[in-house]
Chain A
Amino acid sequence: SAVISQKPSRDICQRGTSLTIQCQVDSQVTMMFWYRQQPGQSLTLIATANQGSEATYESGFVIDKFPISRPNLTFSTLTVSNMSPEDSSIYLCSVKGLNEKLFFGSGTQLSVL
């Protein structure tokens, strides 16, 4: 299994600001994903981070709001832009391992005031 480091683990931000979340994997992986977990809810896929090309966004998520970078096969960032209280969630980075298993980082707890 991959070891995934996600930073920051939590943050409290002001409305209108942006936060960048980092995800570092201890091995090269082809596929990295970003999920959102709203309070008391399940996980929803935001986008697939592609190395060397633009991320692939799911319905309801747009690049202007959630820009993603994937400069190499071990690192990705997700930015939550122009935040509002509705963006308060847990954001999770994940990578696909062997046999379609998905491994997760420890998540970033974001609170927007």
Chain B
Amino acid sequence: AQTVTQSQPEMSVQEAETVTLSCTYDTSESDYYLFWYKQPPSRQMILVIRQEAYKQQNATENRFSVNFQKAAKSFSLKISDSQLGDAAMYFCAHHNTDKLIFGTGTRLQVFP
């Protein structure tokens, strides 16, 4: 079965600092997609960043970047220059045959 594991239930970071959220996954596929979603208290699921497995280059979206290690099946999210608005639940997800399999989430707190 495809699984996605987020081993950090909670993380905290000081405003303007950098934080890394961990994610590992299990798959037998060679070509797939990985995602990070953000869910603030409003419940809205917001796509943060997407990585294609066949691309070796790590995806970057402004202050958000990933460290994709395909052999290790690891997909961590780095948030630079953290802002108060980054506080939310973060879910890692693996795309598997038209479905997204989500991890259990990491709650990120940002302190001023």
* Chain A interfacial positions (CB closer than 8 Å to B): 1, 31, 33, 41-45, 48, 90, 92, 94, 96, 99-104, 106-107, 109
14 A-B residue pairs with Cβ-Cβ distance under 8 Å, sorted by A, are: A1-B47, A42-B91, A42-B104, A42-B105, A43-B45, A43-B100, A44-B102, A92-B43, A94-B45, A96-B98, A99-B52, A101-B50, A106-B42, A106-B44
- Smallest CB gap from B6: residue in A: A42
Known: A31-B98, A43-B102, A48-B98. A99 touches B42 (CB 8 A): no
A106 neighbours in B (Cβ, 8 Å): 42-44
B51 to chain A: closest CB distance in Å? 11
Scoring B residues 81 to 96 as 1 if CB is less than 8 Å from chain A, else 0, what string do you get? 0000000000101010
A107 neighbours in B (Cβ, 8 Å): 43-45
Question: CA A33 – CA B93 in complex, angstroms?
Answer: 15
Scoring B residues 35 to 70 as 1 if CB is less than 8 Å from chain A, else 0, what string do you get? 100000011110100101000000000000000000
A99 neighbours in B (Cβ, 8 Å): 33, 50, 52
